[in-house]
Chains A and B, each alone.
Chain A
Amino acid sequence: MEESKQIEETLGRFRPERENLLPVLQEIQEQVGYVSREAMEKVAHFFLLPPSEIFSIVTFYHQFRRKPPGRNPVHVCLGTACYLLGGNLILDAFSRELQIGRGDTTEDRSFSLDATACFGCCNVAPVVKIHSQIYPKMSPGKVEEVIINLRDKDKSS
């Protein structure tokens, strides 16, 4: 389904009351994969709120992305165990290698980078999840290899 239709369909399932604002934004992200400028404008219009306020909310919560996810969505765990074992260093390493920040997508849309909460694999922390695959016991040194392998796979498919 095309993005505008998906947004409108989502809005159609809610009433324009303020307590529905976050659920609506979450649902749009779920359906479309991200919250675009168009989505924020439509939500503002629906709730009769200024667009700047929607932007304020969407940028406040890290869970909302404003760019479409990449073909390889990298999720770096920053749950307690992963964080203590250097999850943020893994995040930094991806950020450096891909030249994008948290919540961002590369120009060619091949990668996106996000930080998330616990996946429940604390025993192999720090972990990274890409698609449904878990990369256990990550270290900044392994990041480049992970990226190269995924790039190769992208090319051959």
Chain B
Amino acid sequence: MPSLIIDGREIAADSGEKILWAALRSGIYIPHLCATEGAELPFGGCRLCLVEVEVGGRREMTTACSEPVREKMKIYAHTEKIARMRRMAFELIMSDHHIDCKNCAKRKNCGLIRTASAMNMPLQPKTLRSLARDLPVDNSHPLFAYDPRKCVKCGKCVLLCQGLGKSFLDFAHRGFEMTVTTFDHLPLSSIACESCLDCVKVCPTGALYLKDTSKNVIPAPYQSTGLTSAGRPKGGGVSEASEHSQKLLTSPDPGVGGSLKEEGGSGDG
């Protein structure tokens, strides 16, 4: 079992695992938004997990979610330079985020609020002006909705849906115009989504959220029509999916694990 040294502290790690997860397990908090544990190809898009690694006496910047641990590697996770870069990364993320916590379904369990409080930063960028885009909310699905104005393009839902062999969500367009969306921007109700609602769980923001169905009767097992994912078997029955969604809907705290106060530890999964 290799061990590595983060900020002068020696910690144990599993061989081949990425720095980020070893650090978090040992109680060293490194901010992160886009990382999925066990992902083969880390997305590395949020740039919040930047650390410095000592290589041949020099320090190099790298993202902790993508760099595998090596025996006795020396990592600096909390330097002045790192703090500056992370703050900038977070401001960039927030600069096109539609900040509206009061009306946000994830306000009690938001990865952005958690990150902001851990980094001791406000949600509103101080040095950048807001470039939030006016994009339409997809409200078509009976159980969940998608508000692209809150999406931080972390890619977690894309990776997850892909892992389930469905790939209903993907990135589209590029640069500032990039969005996470369905095939040809089709409404969520018209694709063959089986309502497993796992994307809602992994989404760290209020972009993918459960609709408030508590006042209504929970809709009958949702059966979709229309497009199927080409060439892929339609796994998972509808009844199984709806059972799963009932559980999600009735649990007191749907969405990612952990609470606002929890700043380190297991992270936001």
Binding site for B on A (CB under 8 A): 37, 40-41, 44-45, 47-56, 59-60
The reply to whether the CB of B184 lies closer than 8 angstroms to some CB of chain A is: yes
* A60-B173, A60-B174 given; A55·B184 CB < 8 A: yes
| A-side interface mostly | helix
Smallest CB-CB separation from A44: which chain B residue? B230
Partner of A45, one of B166, B169, B183, B231: B231
Bound: A56/B229 CA distance, A: 14
Bound: A37/B190 CA distance, A: 14
**B170–A49 CB distance below 8 A:** no
Interface size in chain B (residues, C-beta < 8 A): 19
**A51–B230 CB distance below 8 A:** yes
**A59–B174 CB distance below 8 A:** yes
**A50–B166 CB distance below 8 A:** yes
**A41–B230 CB distance below 8 A:** yes
Bound: A51/B232 CA distance, A: 11
B224 CB contacts on chain A under 8 angstroms: none
A-B CB proximity, top 8 nearest: A48-B231, A50-B167, A52-B170, A51-B183, A44-B230, A45-B230, A59-B172, A56-B170
The reply to whether the CB of B62 lies closer than 8 angstroms to some CB of chain A is: no
Partner of B184, one of A40, A45, A48, A60: A40
Bound: A129/B183 CA distance, A: 32
Q: Could you pull out 27 A-B pairs where Cβ atoms are within 8 angstroms?
A: A37-B184, A40-B184, A44-B230, A44-B231, A48-B230, A48-B232, A49-B230, A50-B166, A50-B170, A50-B183, A50-B229, A51-B183, A51-B229, A51-B230, A52-B167, A52-B168, A52-B169, A52-B181, A52-B183, A52-B229, A53-B170, A56-B170, A56-B172, A59-B172, A60-B172, A60-B173, A60-B174
The reply to whether the CB of B227 lies closer than 8 angstroms to some CB of chain A is: yes
Smallest CB-CB separation from A16: which chain B residue? B231
Bound: A37/B166 CA distance, A: 19
B222-261 interface (Cβ within 8 A of A): 227, 229-232
Bound: A49/B183 CA distance, A: 12
Bound: A5/B182 CA distance, A: 26
A47 CB contacts on chain B under 8 angstroms: 231
Partner of B231, one of A40, A49, A52, A60: A49
